[in-house]
Amino acid sequence: MPFARPVRSAVLFLAGALLSTGCGGSAAPSASSADGPADSETAGRPVTLDNCGQRVRIDAPPRRAVSLNQGTTEIMLSLGLADRMAGTATWTDPLPKSLEKADARVTRLADNAPSFEKVLDVEPDFVAASFASTLGKGGVATRDQFEKLGVPTYLSPSDCAGKDNSGDGDGVRTEPLTMDAVYGEVRDLARVFGVEKRGETLVADLKTRVSRAASGLDAENVTLLYWFANSQSPYMAGCCGAPGVITRELGAKNVFDDTEEEWPQVNWETVADRDPDVLVIGDLTRRQQTAETAARKIAFLESDPVTRNMTAVREKRYVLLSGQAMNPTVRTVEGVEKVAAALRAYGLAG
């Protein structure tokens, strides 16, 4: 997605209120707590995974893992693995408060993509990433480069299963993403680290939150548009990535569901012509594109002659999401919760 490629470069009150309603994520289990008889660091070793076209073997639970994207970092922290991590990188958003304490124990190698040498300096025994653009040619390093040094790697299935990353953009979805890909990633990483019981607990919690958020919601006639970043050539969500998961869970419609591109760049005249009921806006803390923050996006929308007369802009129907909530991560659940709450608050759905 747009932030995965470093070269690509009264409303706020409501958003603040939504932040306090069930979107903080699950508290990370204590790394020192017992996982019970269901988990074992030695049983079933070595672990072998078929991951994004590669067979990965992990002989022992990692002790010096490096996560190259915030998505994989948040899964590891949510599984209580801070003490097994030697470094993190590529950040777009503040962490949920429930993970801040755990994250403070882990070295941040870089706010954006670190160099290959920087990663090797911390002597990793396992490397994970959310995006092929990070763990691949043109990124930090290729998987083969790590594997040749004896470091097993893992790529989030959500960025390869049913997705074609061979083009110059952010990829094309050949199949709609579902939360099962995220749940599978949680289970994979839990198995790698020998904490399977924690993984099942996290998956069950995420499923419960999605079900609770969508329960009784009737949004069949509601249209949504997801704007990630850039005011000059805006990145809008296509049909089938994480925003598609949010839209389908709520039974609504994405006005750009006619494109399978992950994040196509769409001109404002086309956006205005689609005239969505609600604008879902990325509120980013990074500084790579124009109009990263929600405040800057809203200021643009309300002043630009092409966009200021859109229905959602006139009615100030905005939903503010973190970049992670607009990605295929555990925070996608946060996106489901916030959009559902906003549709109810705006009187657009039952």
248-266: pLDDT as tens digits: 999 999 999 999 999 999 9
Cis upstream peptide for 46 (omega within 30°): yes
Least confident of 2-11, 115-124, 273-282: 2-11
Least confident of 39-48, 76-85, 87-96, 200-209: 39-48
Instruction: Take residue 59 and report the two structure tokens written for it.
Output: 């002989």
Domain 47-209 is in which class? Answer: alpha beta
Least confident of 29-33, 130-134, 275-279: 29-33
What is the length of the chain? Answer: 350
Least confident of 10-24, 93-107, 178-192: 10-24
299-313: pLDDT as tens digits: 999 999 999 999 999
| The pLDDT value given to residue 39 | 56
168-219: pLDDT as tens digits: 788 999 999 999 999 999 999 999 999 999 999 999 999 999 999 999 999 9
Residue with tokens 């049909």: 239
Q: Which residues, in sequence order, are bridge partners of residue 281?
A: 227, 320
Q: How confident is residue 101, by pLDDT bands cut at 50, 70 and 90?
A: very high
Q: How confident is residue 19, by pLDDT bands cut at 50, 70 and 90?
A: very low
- 335 with 278: CB under 8 angstroms? no
Q: Has residue 100 got a pLDDT over 80?
A: yes
Tell me how many degrees the CA angle 293-341-344 measures, rounded to the nearest 5. Answer: 120
| Fold agreement (2-21+216-345, 47-209) | yes
Residue 44's Cβ-count burial label (10 Å; 0-12, 13-18, 19+) is: exposed
Find all residues with CB under 8 Å of 237, minimum gap 6, and list them. 225, 226, 228, 243, 244, 254, 256, 262, 263, 326
- 67 with 76: CB under 8 angstroms? yes
Q: Has residue 20 got a pLDDT over 70?
A: no
DSSP assignment letter at 92: -
Number of other residues whose CB lies within 10 A of the CB of residue 304: 15
| Dihedral over Cα of 326, 204, 134, 177: its sign | negative
- Report the topology of domain 2-21+216-345: Rossmann fold (3.40.50)
What angle do the packed helices 294-303 and 11-19 form, to 10 degrees? 150
Q: How is the chain split into domains, by residue range? A: 2-21+216-345, 47-209
Q: How far apart are CA 105 and CA 22, in angstroms?
A: 25
